[in-house]
A and B are shown apart, each in its own frame.
Chain A
Amino acid sequence: MTAPQPLLARAFREAGLAALIVAGLSFPIISYRAEPDFNNNLTLQPRWPLFFIFCAIGFALRFLLTLWSARPKAARPVEAPKAPAKRPWLAPLGLAALIAYPLLMPILLGPQAALKWVDTFGVQILLYVLLGWGLNIAVGLAGLLDLGYAAFYAVGAYAYALLAPATGLSFWALLPVSGLLAALWGFCIGFPVLRLRGDYLAIVTLAFAEIVRIVLVNWDVVTHGEQGLFGFPPITFFGIPFIGGPRGFAAHFGLHFAAVHKLIFLYFVVLALALVANAVSIRLRRLPLGRAWEALREDEIACRALGLDTANIKLTAFALGAFFAGVAGCLFALRQGVVSPSSFTFNESATILAIVVLGGRGSQWGVALAAMLIVGASELLRELDFLKLIFGPNFDPAQYRMLLVGLAMVAMMNFRPRGIVSARQPTVTLPAVERQA
């Protein structure tokens, strides 16, 4: 143990400094608040108690942090890295839970209350999982930083919203079409950026997404601008519409009509497609193409020296990632019933990228978990009404959700900088042998 006196003195000194910094930062924004009076003139309302509370919090946190970080650390024995534990029951159990979830919710909560839980926490999260897995191909495997992924999502959604009324084709026929159109755009954006990497690529993809969004806003004749498209055919159960009355799904199967039926079906469609996407990703990783993506991420020049055509490899990564986004976009249009440019802003791209980075680039499990965390947790905050009992009736937890998501991201990057699942599993292994001396 070190002598307590110098440590305490140091803690006080650092805490005092922190309090000063907090004071400097919060003085201009907290100490006075400008409020309009009855004549609509701004008056300054002093809020000095709040100001001092902030300074005190800064002082206390820094003080505790200093004490905590100076605690004697037990020498941690160096362990050989453990082989990841095999949990063969995990995947089937997770799958069973995913299948049971939308069926249980209406039983537990009633068909009306279950709407939100199946839609927001079921379909929406699964859509983000699908998007995350798609972006994972470009960002996680091939190492191509794509900041404009929402553009492909938009292409898929608009493809369905425009083609469904125009062609009269069913959702099942248009699903691959949406995906292929998005993949085509992935190909188109891939070509001009073949020579770019890293930051430069990120900027170009960002610009591409903005171009797509602005075209959607301004091409009134086709896209109806900001207003968006609606009134396109909704999802049907293999031709049977989800409506009340004798021709609807409920009557067909002898159920009481409930809006949640449609969402449950949509949930299973998204789940099935997400599982297909997952299977394709996992398979591809073990194929020459998938290995080439990873090799591209690791060292592009070495790839070329080995005869790998890096242009093709990049284009396929872009196109396949975009295909997944197009499929997700089509499902998004069905879920929402309306598509408008405001759904495909940079925020959307950033959220999907955050899911991939937080999950651990290249990891399927990690991305799925991160989608649940980021989308699920931020939606869950809307539900925390009991906090009003603590913070007063004016407290709206939903307003703090982005702040908390941001804090969670900072914490993650501090403690697990390479994502939730950071260990990379080799795509092929040889049986272990004894090391010769």
Chain B
Amino acid sequence: MSSPRWIADPLLRVDRLTMRFGGLVAVNDVSFAVGRGDITALIGPNGAGKTTLFNCLTGFYKPTVGRIAFSQKGLQDEGRIEALTATARRFSRDGGEDLFLLERMPDYEIARKAKVARTFQNIRLFPGMSALENLIIAQHVALTPASGYGLFGLFGLPIYRRAEEKAVAKAEDWLKRIGLRARANDPAGELPYGDQRRLEIARAMCADPCLLCLDEPAAGLNNAESADLARLLHDIRDRDGVSLLLIEHDMSVVMAISDHIVVLDYGQKIADGAPAEVREDPAVIAAYLGVEEEEEAAAEAELEQGARR
């Protein structure tokens, strides 16, 4: 059996990451890799440190210790990572291959330069603005130079008008893909919950990411919506070639769509592998789903059910 993608061709690698808040160790010495073109799921019970880890990856927290290396082209060149780590720089662009150390970069730079986009557990759309505008703001980084930092746009030059038309076309395309074309001009805050979730994913995709991080994308969705979501995520991976990293509670979603699962408990990694391996892991069953026998049985049943989907 060939080695799995997250070992053979990783795009993101977390090395010995620790995040402390005062005396509380939220993430403790966690290492894992995300394979290029994989859907990787980060699971664990409440308070396991999943969202903290996410916030470290996307720059919203500065990790206490550890390294997060990211490259769109893959991370095979160990020497180059070490060389960059030894310097004080945040990223290197020599040789046409970008290499980023995310723990050194501020949040907006991670989205802008490293092209890691994210969504939030509690949806963070721009509620007063229309669905279309939400998707156009996501293209801000690409549109700003075309607007001449405001100047070309201020005088209505065609160079900006063309750029904006392209942005609108892209947004319209995404609205069609998530089935919200008819509600393009409605304020995002007035959409139903499931639509808001999909719109947030589309908005992150409009920022042209290489890695899309989703924090509980299926939270609060019904079964039909969850199935839709799974289709959308597969579609993003296959058609857009974007790797996905997601936090998820819904086991049926996790088992059905992920290629790779990392399990956290009390801030520590307790399992890491393909869904089939993780499902069998007794430590996961005990830690993630509780140790009492009844619960364990119920949990196993749920896992089984998820596997069958």
Q: Are A288 and B133 in contact (CB under 8 A)?
A: no
User: How close is A407's CB to chain B, nearest CB, in angstroms?
Assistant: 30
User: How close is B23's CB to chain A, nearest CB, in angstroms?
Assistant: 25
Per-residue interface assignment for chain A, residues 298 to 312, with 1 indicating a CB less than 8 Å from any chain B CB and 0 otherwise: 110111111111100
Q: Are A284 and B154 in contact (CB under 8 A)?
A: yes
Per-residue interface assignment for chain B, residues 183 to 198, with 1 indicating a CB less than 8 Å from any chain A CB and 0 otherwise: 1110100000000000
Q: Are B117 and A305 in contact (CB under 8 A)?
A: yes
17 inter-chain pairs at a CB distance below 8 angstroms, sorted by A residue, are A283-B153, A288-B144, A288-B153, A289-B144, A291-B133, A302-B125, A303-B108, A304-B111, A306-B203, A306-B204, A306-B207, A307-B108, A307-B111, A307-B140, A308-B140, A429-B132, A430-B185
Please tell me the number of chain A residues within 8 Å of chain B, measured between CB atoms.
Answer: 35
Rank and list the top 9 A-B pairs by shortest CB-CB distance, nearest first.
A307-B112, A307-B111, A298-B126, A302-B124, A435-B182, A287-B153, A426-B130, A430-B184, A288-B143
Per-residue interface assignment for chain B, residues 130 to 166, with 1 indicating a CB less than 8 Å from any chain A CB and 0 otherwise: 1011001110110110010110011010001000100
Chain B residue contacts of A434, Cβ below 8 A: 182
- Residue of A287, A297, A424 touching B147 (CB-CB under 8 A): A287
User: How close is A361's CB to chain B, nearest CB, in angstroms?
Assistant: 10
Per-residue interface assignment for chain B, residues 60 to 100, with 1 indicating a CB less than 8 Å from any chain A CB and 0 otherwise: 10000000000000000000000000000000000000000
A5 at the interface (CB under 8 A from B): no
Chain A residue contacts of B118, Cβ below 8 A: 305
Q: Are A429 and B128 in contact (CB under 8 A)?
A: no
B181 at the interface (CB under 8 A from A): yes
A159 at the interface (CB under 8 A from B): no
A21 to B107, CA, bound (A): 56
A79 to B171, CA, bound (A): 30
Residue of A nearest to B118 (CB): A305
Known A299-B125, A428-B133, A430-B185: A305·B140 in contact at CB below 8 Å: no
Chain B interface residues toward A at CB < 8 A: 58, 60, 107-109, 111-112, 117-120, 124-130, 132-133, 136-138, 140-141, 143-144, 147, 149-150, 153-154, 156, 160, 164, 168, 172, 175, 179, 181-185, 187, 203-204, 207
Q: Are B128 and A291 in contact (CB under 8 A)?
A: no
Residue of A nearest to B112 (CB): A307
Given contacts A305-B120, A428-B132, 11 further A-B contacts (CB under 8 A): A291-B129, A291-B133, A299-B126, A305-B60, A306-B207, A307-B109, A307-B140, A426-B132, A430-B168, A430-B181, A435-B183
A294 to B127, CA, bound (A): 11
Q: Are A301 and B140 in contact (CB under 8 A)?
A: no
A221 at the interface (CB under 8 A from B): no
Known A287-B153, A436-B182: A292·B137 in contact at CB below 8 Å: yes
Residue of B nearest to A299 (CB): B124
Q: How many A-B residue pairs have CB under 8 A?
A: 130
Q: Among the interface residues B124, B141, B187, which one has the most CB atoms of the partner chain A within 10 A?
A: B124
- Residue of A291, A305, A435, A436 touching B111 (CB-CB under 8 A): A305
User: How close is B216's CB to chain A, nearest CB, in angstroms?
Assistant: 15
User: How close is B72's CB to chain A, nearest CB, in angstroms?
Assistant: 15
A280 at the interface (CB under 8 A from B): yes
Q: Are A284 and B111 in contact (CB under 8 A)?
A: no
A295 at the interface (CB under 8 A from B): yes
A297 to B118, CA, bound (A): 20
Q: Are B181 and A433 in contact (CB under 8 A)?
A: yes
Q: Are B132 and A295 in contact (CB under 8 A)?
A: no
Residue of B nearest to A290 (CB): B150
A433 to B156, CA, bound (A): 28
A85 at the interface (CB under 8 A from B): no
Chain A residue contacts of B137, Cβ below 8 A: 288, 291-292, 295, 303, 306, 308
Q: Are A289 and B147 in contact (CB under 8 A)?
A: yes
A432 at the interface (CB under 8 A from B): yes
Q: Are A430 and B132 in contact (CB under 8 A)?
A: yes
A299 to B200, CA, bound (A): 13
A427 at the interface (CB under 8 A from B): yes
Q: Are B133 and A426 in contact (CB under 8 A)?
A: yes
A415 to B192, CA, bound (A): 28
User: How close is B156's CB to chain A, nearest CB, in angstroms?
Assistant: 8
A307 to B209, CA, bound (A): 11
A433 to B180, CA, bound (A): 11
User: How close is A292's CB to chain B, nearest CB, in angstroms?
Assistant: 6
Known A280-B154, A288-B144: A294·B124 in contact at CB below 8 Å: no
Chain B residue contacts of A429, Cβ below 8 A: 130, 132, 184-185
Known A287-B154, A310-B108: A428·B136 in contact at CB below 8 Å: yes
Chain B residue contacts of A427, Cβ below 8 A: 133
Q: Are A302 and B126 in contact (CB under 8 A)?
A: yes
Chain B residue contacts of A295, Cβ below 8 A: 126, 129, 137, 140
Q: Among the interface residues B125, B136, B150, which one has the most CB atoms of the partner chain A within 10 A?
A: B150
User: How close is A191's CB to chain B, nearest CB, in angstroms?
Assistant: 16
Residue of A nearest to B148 (CB): A287
Residue of A nearest to B150 (CB): A289
A308 to B138, CA, bound (A): 9
Known A302-B124, A306-B117, A428-B136: A294·B185 in contact at CB below 8 Å: no
A308 to B154, CA, bound (A): 20
A349 to B141, CA, bound (A): 34
A376 to B270, CA, bound (A): 70
Q: Are A306 and B168 in contact (CB under 8 A)?
A: no
Chain B residue contacts of A433, Cβ below 8 A: 181-182
A433 to B181, CA, bound (A): 8
User: How close is A249's CB to chain B, nearest CB, in angstroms?
Assistant: 34
User: How close is A3's CB to chain B, nearest CB, in angstroms?
Assistant: 42
Q: Are A298 and B129 in contact (CB under 8 A)?
A: yes
Q: Are B185 and A432 in contact (CB under 8 A)?
A: yes
Q: Are B60 and A301 in contact (CB under 8 A)?
A: yes
A26 to B111, CA, bound (A): 62
Per-residue interface assignment for chain A, residues 266 to 299, with 1 indicating a CB less than 8 Å from any chain B CB and 0 otherwise: 0000000000000010011011110110110111
- Residue of A289, A310, A430, A436 touching B172 (CB-CB under 8 A): A430
